Structure 1
């Protein structure tokens, strides 16, 4: 915990720059990605009336088919259509209305007081002739079109902005329309925006937590060991400086002692004891430095292993994501097969309609034959009548099945498209997050490589210290030899002083090199 507090500045700096780096991505999401997504939501909501009107056209086409086959009169078909469409709803409250090209309102499920009335002069608060505009759009566009206007919501008085899709059913001259209110669309867009922002915010918090955990982990595995190594190296450089000063002092003492041979011997012996002690101390410190360097190397190697595990984990996530995408695509293929089966059932229903028609014809012929038979054919007439009723019931059931099949086919197709769009967006985001994690792992790998290079350099420095101590030991041996040759005390002592001074200079240079290395490591840490 103490190390964490001492390095809090480094952690906060890393988090600050990480948040600065995220700002462009947030700006792109808020000002580009999110508005584009919201626009797609608006366009999707506007497509709902079009899809709904096309579904109603399938009903009208079915009734027109029955009129052409003499199963229904035109008046019966239109009456059935009005009854059915009047009760149809989608999105819980959206409805359909029918007017002709005069325009006259044929059927309005909410404002029934308009039915049968001329609506050519009806205007919204902006002065737009609503149904005249709808008639112009429907008659001039074979596939139908959209009209913007203001219209009150059900059970409300104040008009609200609304966009409706209208389309002309040419065989009957009917214009079928349905729409959505813009405030409902805006509410859905706002809800979608809030959901996206919430997910984005939560993802940001998770990323920040991961970054904080990774930074702290890096602190304990890399930075703190390096700081400890720097402290040790700094202490060693200080000790070397002290040793160099002591060697210089000893050299001066030896030089002064040459005036008196006896006192020179005593001072030289004392100096040798000090030199040997310092040599051993320097060797120990150099070995400790080498051990610290090895620890830093080991920590760097562990860091490499951790980064490799992270990369493997990201690869596993990518493989899982791809597998999930494959499974979802297989499910979409199954839904397409379901849609095909529904269409085939619809084809079979047409065959049932033909059988019903033939049954009705058979019932009619049976009734005729029963009438010809007179009194003896009454029982047969009852049977023929029951067959006719059964045929009509079968026809009604086939019609309902056709309607259910049509609705089911459209719904399955819509669900399949929506699932495909959502999964493509989700896996695109997952792949983006995995790519960010891979980049971060590469950055960690580079930092660990730098730490390893610094550790190698520190090892070279430690080896240099050991070499210097060996040279100092050699000088001490030469001084011992000089003591054994009393005859050349003065000359040998002067030579020993020069050798010792040279070694002292080398030690001083080595200590300065260590101090510079410590300063460089402090900057890196």
Structure 2
């Protein structure tokens, strides 16, 4: 759709818009006209239905009289038929009655139809009016509408008519009546003609308005195209005069403003390109000087990187030696700790011996006491044996032997006690010496641990120093690589500056195509930007500057 719209002119687009709008109005108008026709037709149906219901009410009243016994059925039917035959509504519309077989019971306009079958009355289209009414009466609802055509006074041809049928079940009758609907059709056609005439006049008016609007838009667009074509050809000196306040006039004003701004830009570009051509040459010379200094700096960084590599190797060697010394110190500390544990065990063993010797001394004391008491008992036994005389002589001999044995036990106990006292003195001296050796070994272990800690710190510091030297070496290497890249970039910048110089000359030639008004050229001052001077060459070593 969008592509198709881009292929047609503005005048055609406005014409399509007008036709679409009129088509929409036509649909809306026809909808309302048809809706009015439907409402009128529904009112006509309601009118005939109410009339037939009224006539059915008369039959119901007569049937009630029959049920009350006031009339017989024949009398009630005769009275009801006569009353319905005289009933009129609307513009003289009437009712007729037939039974469920289509036989006419009463027809006020054509009484000769009374008693005739349903096929006696048909319209020009062949519709059997009485039979259609009887069919609706025999239906489930017993009521409804049907259409047919019938002669109408004042008309040369039959016209459309709508009838309503309602069954009166007690007597098996069907009450019907019809209304002409030809006037509704005439009104509908008249309204359609009015709508068509109104839309035709509106089409002419809107067509003329659309033509006038499209002509105004097309002329403005054509003028804008001409202005743009002149500007595209490089002529920016022609002034643009605008009259009007519509969007095309605003577009032309914006084109005039754009022309002024473009002329200013072209003049600025022309002056700036000359300055760029001059400055780009100086930039190229400065880049060449910078390239030379960058290469010298890169050479110094390579030498520095080699020196840092040698220093890193030396530091790594020192770190390895410190690490080995630390391992040896850790081994010595472990051996000293084991010696301290052995000495502590020896001290503990000597203490146990001393305690056991003390216990043996106590036991010897107990034995000495037992020997002393045994001697006393032996002495007492000898005294008692002497008193007994001849009878206690054998007992005295035994007592003497026991006494001698007790004396020898006491002497042996004293000798053993003396030996134990001597051993305890020596054990005490050994315990003191073992305690002193344990303290000395503990001090040795602590000293070796301090040496191990110092060697660990030295090893860690050497490792950190090695890593620091490696990082410095990597940094110097990275700086060397960056300097090499900078040298390459400087060379590229020099080539770019040369290319910029050439492009600036090309730009000067390109903007020379535009024709500028004298007033525009005088309103923009020339560029006064001074080109920057090249940096001086470095003095001394590049490493010192670094």
Give the TM-score, by structure 1 length.
0.36
Bigger Rg, structure 1 or 2: 2
Higher helix share: 1
TM-score normalised by structure 2 residue count: 0.35
